[in-house]
Amino acid sequence: MSTLSSLILVFLSIASVFSFTLRQSHNDNMCKTMGSILCIKEELAIIATVANGIARASKEIEETIVQIKTLKTLNLHVNMEINYTQFNVPIPEYHNEFFQVNNIDKEFLRELFFEAHNAMLFYYNSIEDLLNLKVEYADPIDQSIKKIQDSLRYEIICRYRSALNAFSQKWKSVNEIGRINFSRQHRLAPSFTHHIHSVVIVRYLQQWMKLINSVIVNLESKFF
């Protein structure tokens, strides 16, 4: 039995003890009632698969917008917003460090889950702000981004909460996490602003999805 598999058995017993308390203290209605985990490896495998799907969908959204807007002008404003927001977005500290170390321990693993969970909530909230703009003619893009938001919520955030539940680790609620603070310096048409914000969000998401997938794929080779 691998070390990760052995840890799963330990997690199961821990989860059964703490699940009721965690359900009471962490319920923000984002997920179904949290209970014991059947298999962390399966949860992580699903997260990795969904992350790949979100990365592809994000790229497709960007390509669709590029076909609608003038590329040079769009990229100019997108790059301005990325420069403006880069210090406001979550930094993948543990995910980057993961690739610089030979092995990780249980505490590092917990921090990986916690970091990813909080980052996904951040982009969930950022998408919510985008959808609340309710810009005319933005429905096709909004529908695609709403699908990403739902996947973030049900297939990634909630599965990370299952993993954190096994650690008896408190997680932050959706209202405790921020969102992208875009600049308000540009006097642009609402539809153009919507497209700029959309591209910025999906670019950040593509970076995170690739990181999450790569960490999960390589996790068992480094965890001891």
Burial of 161 (0-12, 13-18, 19+ CB in 10 A): buried
Distance CA 200, CA 138 (A): 16
Residue given tokens 């998408």 in the structure block: 127
Q: Model confidence over 91-138: pLDDT tens digits?
A: 999 999 999 999 999 999 999 999 999 999 999 999 999 999 988 888
Given a cut of 70, whether residue 141 has pLDDT beyond it is yes
DSSP 202: H
Domain that holds residue 82: 3-222
Share of the chain above pLDDT 70, in %: 84
What pLDDT band is residue 20 in, cutting at 50, 70 and 90?
very low
- When divided into structural domains, the chain yields a total of 1
Q: Model confidence over 45-57: pLDDT tens digits?
A: 999 999 999 999 9
Structure tokens belonging to residue 174: 């959706």
Helix, strand, coil share (%) of the chain residues, nearest 5: 75, 0, 25
Which range among 6-15, 16-25, 91-100 has the greatest average pLDDT? 91-100
